Chain A
Amino acid sequence: MKFLTIKFLLLALLAFAAFASPEAEPVHEAASSHKDETYKAQSMGEMIQGFAKSTGIYAILYPDPNELSSHGEQMSDFHKSWGRVLMILVTFLLFYLAIAKGYEPLLLLPIAFGGLLANIPVANIAGVHGFLGVIYNMGLANEMFPILIFMGVGAMTDFGPLLSNPKTALLGGAAQFGIFGTLVGAVALSQYTNIFDFTLQQASAISIIGGADGPTSIFIATKLAPELLGAIAVASYSYMALVPIIQPPIMRALTTQKERKIKMVTRRHVSRLEKLVFPIMVLSLAIMILPASTPLIGAFMFGNFLKESGVVERLNDTLQNSLINIVTIFLGLGVGSKLAADQFLVVDTLAILILGLLAFSAGTASGVIMAKIMNLFPGEKINPLIGSAGVSAVPMAARVSNKVGIEFDRSNMLLMHAMGPNVAGVIGSAVAAGVMISIFG
């Protein structure tokens, strides 16, 4: 019996070896020629020299002329050497902003650390077989992670404030002007200057920053212009963190003292059934009008429906906490892999940062202006300060509206009124994203 087992094992081994050898051969040859070099009997001095050549310092000082980027393309010497050092310093700056200044640390920290790892020479962590590359291909290249995040965001969103005052949804629509205004700006920039050359796809991916919605930006960027993903994601999340700094001056500039003091009537009660029907209703509209937007809206409404159903508390809890946390880690690291020097240290990045800021400001301004336009019509008056919350950035933008409102009238609580346009802005940017997807197919 023992012999039989051994025989069988031997047979299996032989079969495996026979099976594996034809495939393994070319690799073996390539490896053996390499091994011949390194496995020659070496003197101690040679060994130390060889080791020294494999250090990071050597790789940065004397970049390997044959090294390819994670896309398998040629890189300039700068991007292989000092560009990497510079990018590592940039990630340190992002660490500082995330930790000391509290700028969206949940995403900025994983992104920045991913960027740090992606810029390590020799190790090639962001390459196809490095773990960052694996994460990127696992969930970002196929737009999976932003969708999962959207489910979690849906489970965290309360549509009550919007349902109690439906017309404020228009503010969330107006703020999307930031997206399309910037689109025109980006194509004008590439049309009339020789420095930048954005295609329409790239211009659209950049302008979606104006939607102030991280997952949507990442979704569109990976679909339309994956080469710009790193810069777009960093710009998007940095500006979202900067909402309390960017928005108030624009809001003050566009409103009068009297308008800022407008008090809005108390909201009516919203029944549970209304909240339960709402996600299905919006999804049905999306199905009829813009099916291209249903990946985003569908995931969003799925999360919200689970929450409002009230019978799947466990799933709701997982979406809001565990799932979104896990995906955030992967999403951050995957985006960070696009902070490699050869992709981030290009002039396009500068344009993206500037255009992103422009998109944000334009969105804020058009939300406020829309509220002023709505006040020209008879009916209940709207405080224009809540217009700025139409750029999504939930719930930061709504808090900013509230804060500016309190500055001028201590008793004026705008937070709940601002949540209406705020969540409408999320739907608005998902629709805008759907339009772009439907245009480019």
Chain B
Amino acid sequence: MENLVFEGFKFMALGMGTVFSFLILMIGAMNLQSYIIHKFFPDPAPLSGAGKAENKNAKIAAITAAVMHHNNAKS
């Protein structure tokens, strides 16, 4: 009968090797992905925040104009 323990060690080498190479590749891919995304597709979160503020200002301006118009119309 062949030595099963030796077989077990072979499994361990192959298994741990695969797990680590997979995860190392994954880490590399994650870093690359984060680099690409931050460079070419920056998070729109702060932009949208600014956009919202602008929107708000525009809305306030519109409302002010409407109220002014209303008041002017009344008088």
* A282 to B9 Cα, complex, angstroms: 28
Cβ 8 A contact of A176, one of B15, B27, B41: B15
CB neighbors of A among B12-54 (8 A): 12, 14-16, 18-27, 29-31, 33-34, 37-38, 41-43, 45
CB neighbors of B among A243-263 (8 A): none
Cβ 8 A contact of B18, one of A186, A281, A424, A435: A435
Q: Judging by beta carbons under 8 Å apart, are A427 and B25 in contact?
A: no
CB proximity of A274 to chain B, nearest CB, Å: 5
Is residue A350 within 8 Å, beta carbon to beta carbon, of the partner chain?
no
Cβ 8 A contact of B30, one of A186, A188, A278: A278
* Chain B residues in 8 Å Cβ range of A203: 4, 8
Q: Judging by beta carbons under 8 Å apart, are B3 and A170 in contact?
A: no
Given A176-B19, A278-B33, A431-B19: A191 in contact with B4 (beta carbons within 8 A):
yes
Q: Judging by beta carbons under 8 Å apart, are B43 and A271 in contact?
A: yes
Query: Count of A residues near B, CB < 8 Å?
Result: 45
Scan A421-438; emit 1 where CB is below 8 A from any B CB, else 0. 000100110011011100
* A285 to B4 Cα, complex, angstroms: 32
Q: Judging by beta carbons under 8 Å apart, are A424 and B8 in contact?
A: no
Q: Judging by beta carbons under 8 Å apart, are B37 and A274 in contact?
A: yes
Cβ 8 A contact of A269, one of B12, B20, B23, B43: B43
Is residue B5 within 8 Å, beta carbon to beta carbon, of the partner chain?
yes
CB proximity of B17 to chain A, nearest CB, Å: 9
Q: Judging by beta carbons under 8 Å apart, are A432 and B19 in contact?
A: yes
* A105 to B11 Cα, complex, angstroms: 34
Is residue A277 within 8 Å, beta carbon to beta carbon, of the partner chain?
yes
Q: Judging by beta carbons under 8 Å apart, are B43 and A177 in contact?
A: no
SS class, residues of chain B in contact with chain A: helix
* Chain B residues in 8 Å Cβ range of A434: 18
Q: Judging by beta carbons under 8 Å apart, are A436 and B15 in contact?
A: yes
* Chain A residues in 8 Å Cβ range of B38: 271
Cβ 8 A contact of B27, one of A169, A272, A436: A169
CB proximity of A335 to chain B, nearest CB, Å: 25
CB proximity of B71 to chain A, nearest CB, Å: 44
Given A166-B30, A184-B5, A203-B8: A439 in contact with B25 (beta carbons within 8 A):
no
* A285 to B22 Cα, complex, angstroms: 8
Q: Judging by beta carbons under 8 Å apart, are B19 and A435 in contact?
A: yes
Is residue A204 within 8 Å, beta carbon to beta carbon, of the partner chain?
yes
CB proximity of B5 to chain A, nearest CB, Å: 5
Given A166-B30, A277-B33: A183 in contact with B8 (beta carbons within 8 A):
yes
CB proximity of B16 to chain A, nearest CB, Å: 6
Given A431-B22, A432-B15: A170 in contact with B27 (beta carbons within 8 A):
yes
Given A163-B30, A269-B43, A285-B25: A173 in contact with B7 (beta carbons within 8 A):
no
Q: Judging by beta carbons under 8 Å apart, are B12 and A166 in contact?
A: no
* Chain A residues in 8 Å Cβ range of B43: 269, 271-273
Q: Judging by beta carbons under 8 Å apart, are B18 and A290 in contact?
A: yes
The residues of A with any CB-CB pair to B shorter than 8 Å are 162-163, 166-167, 169-170, 172-173, 176-177, 179-181, 183-184, 186-188, 190-191, 200, 203-204, 269, 271-274, 277-278, 281-282, 285-286, 289-290, 424, 427-428, 431-432, 434-436, 439
Closest 7 CB pairs of A and B: A180-B12, A184-B8, A271-B43, A166-B30, A187-B8, A187-B4, A173-B23
Give 14 A-B contacts (CB < 8 Å), ordered by A residue: A163-B30, A166-B31, A170-B24, A176-B15, A180-B11, A181-B12, A186-B8, A187-B4, A187-B7, A191-B4, A200-B7, A271-B37, A273-B41, A277-B37
